[in-house]
């Protein structure tokens, strides 16, 4: 079948340079001469060279150097396409590399070239079995037992196969009857023997989805994605499931696999655009939380709510949880209590973080009993030191609230900043300073002024305020003595001096 210029003209083809036809004629001649003078060998390999490749490949296979062994078996097969031993050994390497689909054609070629090669037929039957191809496996095992009725491997595997066939029928029956848990139990037993069965794994994945176990469904679908070449549908489905689970990064990675296989895949591209933007927003929120940029965290969380749809309840939940955290950390009491309560009520959840964040907001709102209730509820699900410390702190705050409360003395909220504290101090100091007090009860004025000055001293000092917020009174000598010693004037506390009150001073005269 050589083309020449004349033939090209007859077929209205554009004539090619004569050098092309000379090369083509030369290659054809080589092929013909190879068939005539080198029967059983290609590319100039002799039977001795084929045997050498087989021997080298065998040694490399025994040493576990599969890739190098595979190269020699390729050469042996190229040199002698009818050498069943070369095919069998190459199939063995493929199986060792986990490439059962590549091994199967080689095993079939061995059976074709040497039908009585039992080892190859058993190996092929086992591959069929692992792939869940019960009919093909059954045929091979029966063929072996016809000629070798005492073959233990074939007999045992044949018996196992009969059980698996019956189990598979029962699993399908349970699935149709919507008895998904029962179907999962049987399918799991079958898949132990048939790990490469796409049909069985897909059936189990669907069963898992029907019992809302998305994580296990994804695991099965990821396996099928590897078993089927160019499986864009599997990667899209996996990514969509991970999106529903709220796993942005994992969803993004899988949709990228779909686009690697088909860059023009419309559905994958649409989903990729959405999930990429969402993942970026989540990364930003995590960064804002790490850097304590609470306002930015709240705004990004609101943007996520706009990006998500009804398909992803989990991302909506996550966004609200971020808002719960950031409102609480920013000491936005009302907003924090509202969004945290919405999470706990709407989603019927016992989310520990939401409980703790709401408890912290309750503390700022001086609703200590409600805060303690939330921490105790969190303790039912989390026995960490954080929860234990929170419970102890609230118990101290409850005890503290029955004594001197510096926030109440100044009439400010626990979330007040330093400027607000100083304004409140000045206001009350003017009212209660004994030299300025217009009432008759000077003793009361003295006591109130001392308490006001103490409140300013504690609440404008970050270290002392932190202690007070933790349920300890840094100016309570008895309490501090129990903590390990205390000097009430050791840090310069002077209720009638200037201190750090911004230059606001009064002269005080004792009678």
* Per-residue pLDDT tens over the stretch 280-337: 999 999 999 999 999 999 999 998 888 777 667 888 899 999 999 999 999 899 999 9
Contact 366, 414 (CB under 8 A): yes
pLDDT at 491: 44
If asked whether residues 28 and 54 sit together in one domain, one would say no
Q: Is 182 part of any domain? A: no
The Cβ of residue 29 has, within 10 Å, a number of other Cβ atoms equal to 11
If asked whether residues 123 and 33 sit together in one domain, one would say no
If asked whether residues 92 and 127 sit together in one domain, one would say yes
Q: Which of the two residues, 483 and 380, has the higher pLDDT score?
A: 380
Contact 412, 331 (CB under 8 A): no
The Cα 414–Cα 421 span in angstroms is 10
- What does the mean pLDDT of the chain come to? 83
If asked whether residues 16 and 96 sit together in one domain, one would say no
What average pLDDT does this structure show over 398-407?
A: 81
Q: Which helix (H) or strand (E) holds 51?
A: helix 47-62
pLDDT at 484: 55
Give 138-176 pLDDT, tens digit per residue. Answer: 999 999 999 999 999 999 999 999 999 999 999 999 999
If asked whether residues 103 and 78 sit together in one domain, one would say yes
pLDDT at 68: 94
What average pLDDT does this structure show over 247-254?
A: 92
pLDDT at 43 over 60: no
Q: What total of structural domains would you count in the chain?
A: 3
pLDDT at 441 over 90: no
Relative orientation angle of helices 352-364 and 368-379, to the nearest 10 degrees: 160
If asked whether residues 118 and 138 sit together in one domain, one would say yes
Q: Which of the two residues, 29 and 73, has the higher pLDDT score?
A: 73
Q: Is 169 part of any domain? A: no
If asked whether residues 87 and 130 sit together in one domain, one would say yes
Between the two ends of the chain, the Cα-to-Cα distance in Å is 129
pLDDT at 183 over 90: yes
User: Which pTM was predicted?
Assistant: 0.62
CATH, residue 421: 1.10.287.110
The Cβ of residue 484 has, within 10 Å, a number of other Cβ atoms equal to 6
Give 363-380 pLDDT, tens digit per residue. Answer: 988 899 999 999 999 999
Burial code (b: 16+ CB inside 10 Å, e: under 16) for 344-377 equals: beebeeebbbbbbbbbbbbbbbbbbebbbbbbeb
Give 209-246 pLDDT, tens digit per residue. Answer: 999 999 999 999 999 998 888 889 999 999 999 998 88
If asked whether residues 56 and 87 sit together in one domain, one would say yes
Q: Is 133 part of any domain? A: yes
Contact 428, 410 (CB under 8 A): yes
Q: Which of the two residues, 319 and 438, has the higher pLDDT score?
A: 319
pLDDT band, residue 473 (cuts 50/70/90) = confident
pLDDT at 332: 92
Q: Is 14 part of any domain? A: yes
The Cβ of residue 380 has, within 10 Å, a number of other Cβ atoms equal to 11
pLDDT band, residue 480 (cuts 50/70/90) = low
Give 74-91 pLDDT, tens digit per residue. Answer: 999 999 999 999 999 999
Domain boundary among 130, 151, 172: 151
pLDDT at 188: 97
Query: 32 is written with which tokens?
Result: 């013909």
What average pLDDT does this structure show over 123-137?
A: 94
The Cα 346–Cα 36 span in angstroms is 83
Phi and psi angles of residue 419, each rounded to the nearest 5 degrees, phi first: -65, -40
The Cα 338–Cα 353 span in angstroms is 15
pLDDT at 490: 42
The Cα 245–Cα 370 span in angstroms is 32
DSSP label of 196: T
CATH, residue 66: 1.25.40.10
Q: Is 229 part of any domain? A: no
pLDDT at 42: 43
If asked whether residues 77 and 132 sit together in one domain, one would say yes
Nearest C-alpha neighbor of 209 from the set 246, 247, 181, 251: 181
Q: Is 354 part of any domain? A: no
If asked whether residues 460 and 424 sit together in one domain, one would say yes
If asked whether residues 144 and 57 sit together in one domain, one would say yes
pLDDT at 33: 33
Q: Is 452 part of any domain? A: yes
If asked whether residues 12 and 94 sit together in one domain, one would say no
Name every residue whose Cβ is closer than 8 Å to that of residue 265 and which is 6 or more positions away in sequence. Answer: 232, 236, 258, 259
What average pLDDT does this structure show over 333-361?
A: 92
One-letter-per-residue 3-state SS of 488-502: CCCCCCCCCCCCCCC
Q: Is 508 part of any domain? A: no
Contact 78, 45 (CB under 8 A): yes
Q: Which of 142-151, 389-398, 443-452 has the lowest mean pLDDT?
A: 443-452
Domain that holds residue 31: 5-37
DSSP label of 14: P
pLDDT at 502: 39
The Cβ of residue 262 has, within 10 Å, a number of other Cβ atoms equal to 15
């Amino acid at each position: 079948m050589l083309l020449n210029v004349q033939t090209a003209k007859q077929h209205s083809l554009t004539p090619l340079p004569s050098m092309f036809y000379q090369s083509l004629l030369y290659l054809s001649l080589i092929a013909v001469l190879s068939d005539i003078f080198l029967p059983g060998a290609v590319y100039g390999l002799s039977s001795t060279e084929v045997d050498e490749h087989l021997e080298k490949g065998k040694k490399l296979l025994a040493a576990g150097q599969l890739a190098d062994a595979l190269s020699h078996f390729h050469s042996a097969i190229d040199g002698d396409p009818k050498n069943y031993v070369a095919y069998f050994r190459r199939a063995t390497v493929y199986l060792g590399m986990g490439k059962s689909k590549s091994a199967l054609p080689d095993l079939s070629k061995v059976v074709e070239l040497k039908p009585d090669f039992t080892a190859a037929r058993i190996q092929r039957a086992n591959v069929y079995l692992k792939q869940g191809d019960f009919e093909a496996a059954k045929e091979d095992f029966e063929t072996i037992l016809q000629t070798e009725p005492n073959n233990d491997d074939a007999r045992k595997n044949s018996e196992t196969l009969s059980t698996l066939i019956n189990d598979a029928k029962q699993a399908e029956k349970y699935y149709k009857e919507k008895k998904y848990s029962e179907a999962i139990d049987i399918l799991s037993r079958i898949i132990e023997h048939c790990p490469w069965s796409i049909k069985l794994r897909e059936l189990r994945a669907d069963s898992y989805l029907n019992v809302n176990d998305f994580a296990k469904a994804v695991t099965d679908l990821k396996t099928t994605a590897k078993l089927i070449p160019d499986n864009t549908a599997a990667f899209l489905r996996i990514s969509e499931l991970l999106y529903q689970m709220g796993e942005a990064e994992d969803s993004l990675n899988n949709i990228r696999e779909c686009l690697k296989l088909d860059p023009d895949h419309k559905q994958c591209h649409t989903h990729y655009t959405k999930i990429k933007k969402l993942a970026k927003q989540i990364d930003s929120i995590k960064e804002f939380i790490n850097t304590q940029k609470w306002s930015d965290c709240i705004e990004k969380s609101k943007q996520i709510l706009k990006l998500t749809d009804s398909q992803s309840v989990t991302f909506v939940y996550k966004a609200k949880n971020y808002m719960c955290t950031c409102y609480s950390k920013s000491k936005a009491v009302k907003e924090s209590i509202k969004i945290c309560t919405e999470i706990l009520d709407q989603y019927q959840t016992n989310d520990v973080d939401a409980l703790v964040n709401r408890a912290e907001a309750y503390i700022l709102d001086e609703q200590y009993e409600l805060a303690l209730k939330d921490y105790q509820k969190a303790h039912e699900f989390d026995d960490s030191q954080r929860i234990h410390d929170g419970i102890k702190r609230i118990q101290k705050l409850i005890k503290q609230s029955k004594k001197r409360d510096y926030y109440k003395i100044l009439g400010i909220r626990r979330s007040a900043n330093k400027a607000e504290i100083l304004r409140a101090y000045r206001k009350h100091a003017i009212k209660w300073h004994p030299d300025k007090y217009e009432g008759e009860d000077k003793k009361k004025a003295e006591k109130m002024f001392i308490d006001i000055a103490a409140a300013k001293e504690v609440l404008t000092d970050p270290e002392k305020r932190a202690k007070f917020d933790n349920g300890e009174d840094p100016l309570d000598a008895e309490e501090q003595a129990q903590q390990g010693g205390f000097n009430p004037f050791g840090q310069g506390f002077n209720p009638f001096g200037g201190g750090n009150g911004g230059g606001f001073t009064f002269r005080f005269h004792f009678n």
